[in-house]
Amino acid sequence: MLTKLLHDIVLAVVTSVVCFAMRQRNVAYLVVLLAAFLAFETLIIVTISIADSIKVFVESLKPSWLGGK
């Protein structure tokens, strides 16, 4: 759910940047900003994946009497 929300936010920003760059008629500006936002989105997804993996690992360390597996 959080990943979907962040994806939608990044997509909205990218759309705004595309419109701005088209008004400015600057293709290099458009390409650089799109690459930066795609890298940012990838970083968000990777960070969330790592956090989920850490959460699963920590949950597996809990003893059963504390509600672990």
pLDDT at residue 68, rounded to an integer: 60
Domain residue limits at 27 = 2-66
Number of compact structural domains in the chain: 1
Can you give the pLDDT at residue 54?
A: 92
Token code pair at residue 25: 């008629």
Residue 39 has pLDDT above 80, yes or no: yes
Residue with tokens 């795609």: 38
Q: pTM of the entire structure? A: 0.56
53 band by pLDDT with thresholds 50, 70 and 90: very high
- Burial, 37: exposed, middle or buried (Cβ in 10 Å; 0-12, 13-18, 19+)? middle
Answer whether 45's CB lies under 8 Å from 14's CB: no
pLDDT at 69 over 70: no
- Amino acid identity of residue 38, one-letter, is L
Structural contact between residues 48 and 4, judged by C-beta atoms closer than 8 angstroms: no
Share of the chain above pLDDT 90, in %: 4
